[in-house]
Amino acid sequence: MDKLQGYAQEAQQQILSARSTALSKVGLTEADLQKITMLPLISGIAGVFIIILVWGAGATPAWVKGTAMYQGQPFEAHLSLTDVQFGASGEDSQTVCGYSPKCSLSFMCDRTDIPVDVIYGNNFPKFTPPEVWCRARAAGASTLSLLWCARISRRLRVPPPPAETLAAVWPDGPNGSRLRRWGVYAW
């Protein structure tokens, strides 16, 4: 039994020596390895922030502010990625589109009751053409697609390094408790 313990201690010494060699080759110290333990927490916080950003981006009417014309009257328009609200808090949305406090950009784009050929003498329209709302809808859809792609790509993981590399750095093996805690497994 003592002989077996001697082999185990000798193996552990070799592993620790290989670990020190591997760390020195890549310029890391034991203190650097201790700092890595905060990585999952930082990644989790960043993930929560991205989810909140994507969720809020579609609902916040603060992306674009402009003036829309309806029946010859200017209305302040606040566009989000999916909706538009007329007036600072949506008080004019009922007048323009019949909904309150927001109007869907899809609804505004698909409207057929807007006369596009009614203009003032100076060639300015009395109504904001539906094409404007269609362009805003397309821009919002593109932006939301990019935000969701960023969220999904953050979820993808890079494959871990080969097991022998991990075994040289971490003596408890490629599927050791420290690595499992970080979500890394050898394949």
Report the percentage of the chain scoring pLDDT > 70: 76
Q: pLDDT value at position 162?
A: 59
Distance CA 23, CA 123 (A): 73
C-alpha 26/C-alpha 39 separation (Å) is 19
pTM of this structure: 0.53
Query: How many angstroms separate the CA atoms of 54 and 149, rounded?
Result: 10
Average pLDDT over residues 34-62: 76
Residue range 59-93, pLDDT digits in tens: 676 678 889 999 888 999 998 888 899 988 888 88
Report the alpha-carbon distance of residue 67 to residue 70 in Å, rounded: 10
Asked if residues 95 and 86 have their Cβ atoms less than 8 Å apart, the reply is yes
Say what the pLDDT of residue 138 is: 92
pLDDT 10s digits, 131-181: 999 999 998 888 888 877 766 665 655 555 555 555 555 555 544 555 454
The residues with which 70 forms a beta bridge, in sequence order, are: 73
CA 150 to chain centre: 5
> Are 161 and 187 contacting, i.e. CB atoms less than 8 angstroms apart?
no
pLDDT at 31: 79
The residue ranges of every structural domain in the chain are 57-155
Distance CA 46, CA 39 (A): 11
